[in-house]
Amino acid sequence: MQALPSLRMPIASAAAVVGCLAVVGTARAQPARVSSPQELARAQGALVAPRTGFGAERELRAAGGRLISPTLGIWRLPGTAAARLTPALAARGALRYAEPDRARRPVAHMLDPYATSTYAWHFGAIGADLLEPPGVGFPITVIDSGLDLAHMDFVGRPDTVALNAQNSGLPDGEDYHGTFVASTAAAALNGVGAEGVYPAAALRVYDMGTPTSSAVIAGIDAAIAAGPSVINLSVGGPGASLAEYDAVLRATKTGSLVVAASGNSFDRGNPAEYPADFPHVLTAGAADRSLLPAFFSSSAPGVDLLAPGVDIPVAHPTDPTLYAAVAGTSFASPIVVAAAAWVKTVRPELTVGQVADVLRTTARDVGDAGRDDRAGFGLLSLPAALAAPAPALDRAEPNDDVDEILAGRVFPNGQSTVNGTKGRNTTLAATLDGAEDPHDVYRVVVPAKRKVTVSVKTTAPLRLDLWGPSTLTTWIGRAGRIAVGTRNTVVWTNRKARPVTVFLHLAAPVRSRPTYTAAITLAAAPR
């Protein structure tokens, strides 16, 4: 990858930008499925997901609700209206969840100007300088503040699509952050300004305006409607949103990979932040020039890998002699996004889940030996990811909980029973990950008067249990649990005169990655 002339010019002006993000703390927080009326009333807005078939949509619309995600059936209401309406919906079983529309902080703030003598060091850090980037291929979607379509690196740039109206603001303001992020991933190779890691990438941009959970969801919906891509989210905030999580799952199911910046709060309490902490999100921390975690890069079980996040060059919109040096996990994330799109383009046979696994497992170990909470699996290595064997394919994902299994919840069609409609012996094989895929749930048919036994062989300890057909969630509490596994075996007998479909649930502890096979066998019920 050749250096552009502008990279060697004297620096007349520079600004440092630090993205404002943070990631997980220790154990994953589990959000309440229905927030209290008091919490909803205090919020300016609320997100409400009704169950289909109960007629709740009419009541939501009458209460001032707006359908923000037709694909997920998520409504936004004024907080006070949601506080009045949701208790009655919950009482008659018409509610999946209700929660505040959580604020997602602006992703950057401006600091005093500074400059660096080596401009594009991040290409060498990830091995991109040794490779010729591909042509147009698997797309990148940046959900952020708007892209400056008049910027010299984007004006007339081929294969750039605005998914909505773009408002970029001024280069010294927070609204310009989306342009900085897009530039890091995909600035054009055109002889001026900076250069993106994947300069010929098909680029889609969505301006989410004020960053909130509902804005993130709307951006993901727009990305899904445009087709599979690698989605960049350099935004975050406290409070786990089930609605955001559903949007991530829908993106994953429809062939997109969601990448999020891990956070900049290691030196400020290391709080949990979302969407970085959700399963199925590839979470990027920031490395400094020593190729170790930057002092601000958040530490958590959900961190997957590092990419450069200090002194990343972005060009002035009109003057190629001027640039800003930006820092933050906000800019490590689009480097990972560009690498993921590059790998998917060159290796189209891989699923996006396999691309994420390749990037994790080929990262170069840095810092503490082995996978750790600050560096994840290590520093991104693009050459290694391009050359690595294809990882195992887990076709059932995402199958984290009951809502992903049953039709009409997160996904229109749900998932079939693993042992057929009449029940038969069968075997499952998959991998869990305590941070990225901590739960696997399957539907199992147990015929009348039959005993089901599930025996698991696993490379690391995991939890195993069975849940009844009316279970709402296997994540929280015990309501609906019918059998608990011991010594990697769980047994339950259906004494009814009809078949019963139950949920098989396997869960991995934090910081573990067990591979398992589960044998499901049926026998006559004991007398």
pLDDT at 112: 25
Mapping DSSP to helix (H, G, I), strand (E, B) and coil, where does residue 48 land? strand
523 phi/psi in degrees, rounded to 5:
-145, 165
pLDDT at 105: 65
Known catalytic membership, residue 330: yes
Q: What contacts 121, CB < 8 A, 6 or more positions away?
A: 289, 308, 311
Known catalytic membership, residue 319: no
For the chain, which residues score pLDDT lower than 70? 1-32, 105-118
pLDDT at 20: 32
Domains, the chain: 5-21+105-387 (3.40.50.200), 44-100 (no CATH), 402-524 (2.60.120.380)
Choosing from 101, 144, 277, 304, which is the catalytic residue?
144
Q: What contacts 515, CB < 8 A, 6 or more positions away?
A: 392, 429, 430, 431, 432, 458, 459
Which residue type sits at 355? V
Choosing from 6, 69, 168, 177, which is the catalytic residue?
177
CA 284 to chain centre: 11
pLDDT at 322: 80
Kindly report whether the global pTM for this prediction surpasses the value 0.85: yes
Q: pLDDT of 26-79, one tens digit each?
A: 233 344 588 899 999 999 999 999 998 899 999 999 999 999 999 999 999 999
- For the record, the structure tokens of 189 come out as 């190779």
pLDDT at 135: 95
Choosing from 69, 183, 330, 381, which is the catalytic residue?
330
Known catalytic membership, residue 290: no
Mapping DSSP to helix (H, G, I), strand (E, B) and coil, where does residue 79 land? helix
Mapping DSSP to helix (H, G, I), strand (E, B) and coil, where does residue 315 land? strand
Q: What contacts 157, CB < 8 A, 6 or more positions away?
A: 188, 190, 203
Give CA–CA dist 220/247, Å, rounded. 7
pLDDT at 172: 76
Tell me 236's DSSP state.
B
